Amino acid sequence: MARSVILNTLATLRMTTGIKVIFEDQYILVLEKPPGLVVDNSKTQKENTLEEILRKEFGININRGGIVHRIDKDTSGLLVVAKTVEAFENLQAQFKDRTVKKEYLALVHGNIEKGGIVEGAIGRNPGNREKFTVMESGKEAVTEYEPKSKYQVSSIKYQVWFPDFNKIQIRKLEKMDYGSFTLLRCFPHTGRTHQIRVHLKYIGHPVVSDEKYAGRKMYRLDRRWCPRQFLHASRIGFKHPVSGEWMEFESKMPEDLKKALWIISSHNLQ
């Protein structure tokens, strides 16, 4: 990881419309995507996307603006972009062969004592085409996870978070143990759409402030103190598409998620 330390220093030298470039050479660039930015152009959105920025401001005019893999709109963190067709094809092959190592940080509901692996095929939810779900007819998906930190917020603090709630509503929060959270390190072995979010929901531990998968009521509660889904692409490792050198990069937790974590840490009973 010594290489990552040097590259993180370079990240402060170039900022473009909120895009922080961690590493760049003539073949690839590694950047930090801010939350709220759509990655790919689509029929409904062809402006204000990362793909558009890469074409217009970085001059990358190959397929998909050189974007090799995706992260969700409200997820922050590391993305690898190719600047040549050859680099694009090489990196795509690495993702297909599952030799790329990815790590995400996710704050989820509930207490997870030990790590595990979720193996559940993922497909588009027939009842809501904007969502995905675990289903037999879906595509293979595997996510490994391990707990990093656990938090238990005192029920007394609910009145601080939700000053407009009455006693009955507070008791409901206590009954559902709303104040129990776990910070996870997640390692997706495959790259399905919404994979980590769907798998964590599947095992009963949805990501905090996940509008699609946490449930409407839980999402509204979460948004009181966490401004967006707590998911961050924190590490990535791959072989340079030309030199073959193994490269690893790390992205620190952004300030909005740090603040949300501080809120529950300051109320932590453990």
Could you say which of 25, 40, 72, 256 is catalytic?
A: 72
Compute the distance between CA of residue 106 and CA of residue 183 in angstroms, rounded to an integer. 6
270 residues of the chain, pLDDT tens digit each: 334 433 444 444 445 567 899 999 999 999 999 999 999 876 566 668 999 999 988 999 998 999 999 999 999 999 999 999 999 999 999 999 999 999 999 999 999 999 999 999 999 999 998 999 999 999 999 999 999 999 999 888 888 889 999 999 999 999 999 999 999 999 999 999 999 999 999 999 999 999 999 999 999 999 999 999 999 999 999 999 999 999 999 999 999 999 999 999 875 444
Whole-number Å distance between alpha carbons of 240 and 24: 11
Is residue 74 among the annotated active site residues?
no
Q: What's the distance, Cα to Cα, between the start and end of the chain in Å?
A: 31
Read off the amino acid at residue 43. K
- Enter the tokens of residue 197: 């979010």
Q: What are phi and psi of 116, to 5 degrees?
A: -170, -175
- Classify burial at 186, counting beta carbons within 10 Å of its beta carbon; exposed 0-12, middle 13-18, buried 19 or more: buried
Q: Which domains does the chain have, with CATH numbers?
A: 2-265 (3.30.2350.10)
The pTM of the full predicted model, rounded to 2 decimals, is: 0.90
